[in-house]
């Protein structure tokens, strides 16, 4: 009986590993928001990576019920390369949006997202790289990184961020 259970477990794990693989995902932009690589209206006033043409890399890790990031403070007009990795056991999505407590619902938060990476691109173990430059309108805005799947968000998958000009 133990051998059968072990065999079923191993076959299930192989099927799961195969199902999680796939083509290289690409991020999608929320339709009403500016393009992720949109150039700022004016160059940044402060010396920054933008002046050298190099983007600042931001490592974002999605763990079941938690988001970790190498940076939480950003500057308008500076290009960032977000490397978003799902280290959890479940699929997640990734958003830069207004907190649900401010806009009223998960759907409204998704509608206001500056950047949205869909759940089908961030299955367990997946990684997505996205280039994004915060627009001037983001300076001082109440924003956060979030997974806008109801149970995930309710369990704490959000992280406040700060944008300055």
Band of residue 54 on the pLDDT scale cut at 50, 70, 90:
confident
Comparing 85 with 54, which gets the higher pLDDT?
A: 85
116-154 confidence digits (pLDDT tens): 999 999 999 999 999 999 999 999 999 999 999 999 999
Q: Look-up: residue for tokens 């009223």?
A: 104
Q: Is the pLDDT of residue 47 over 90?
A: no
- Map residue 86 onto helix, strand or coil: strand
Q: Do residues 60 and 69 make contact, with C-beta atoms less than 8 angstroms apart?
A: yes
List C-alpha distances in Å: 107 to 97, 111, 133, 155: 11, 6, 23, 17
Domain architecture of the chain: domains with CATH: 25-164 (2.60.40.420)
d(CA 92, CA 153): 10
Beta bridge pairs of residue 124:
none
Sorting pLDDT into bands at 50, 70 and 90, what band is 23? very low
Predicted pLDDT at 162 = 98
Average pLDDT in the 80-99 region?
97
The pLDDT of residue 120 is 95
Q: Is 22 left (phi over 0), alpha (psi -120 to 50) or beta?
A: left
């Amino acid at each position: 009986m133990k051998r059968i259970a072990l065999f079923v477990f191993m076959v299930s794990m192989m099927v799961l590993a195969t199902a999680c693989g796939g083509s290289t995902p690409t991020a999608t932009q929320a339709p009403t928001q500016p393009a992720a690589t949109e150039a700022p209206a004016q160059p940044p006033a402060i010396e920054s990576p933008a002046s050298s043409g190099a983007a600042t890399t931001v490592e974002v890790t999605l763990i079941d019920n938690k988001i970790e990031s190498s940076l939480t403070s950003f500057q308008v007009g500076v290009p960032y390369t977000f490397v978003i990795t799902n280290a959890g056991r479940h699929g997640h999505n990734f958003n830069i949006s207004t907190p649900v407590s401010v806009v009223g619902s998960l759907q409204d938060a998704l509608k206001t997202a500056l950047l949205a990476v869909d759940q089908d691109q961030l299955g367990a173990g997946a990684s997505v790289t996205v280039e994004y430059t915060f627009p001037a309108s983001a300076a001082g805005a109440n924003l956060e990184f979030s997974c806008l799947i109801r149970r995930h968000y309710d369990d704490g998958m959000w992280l406040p961020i700060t944008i300055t000009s």
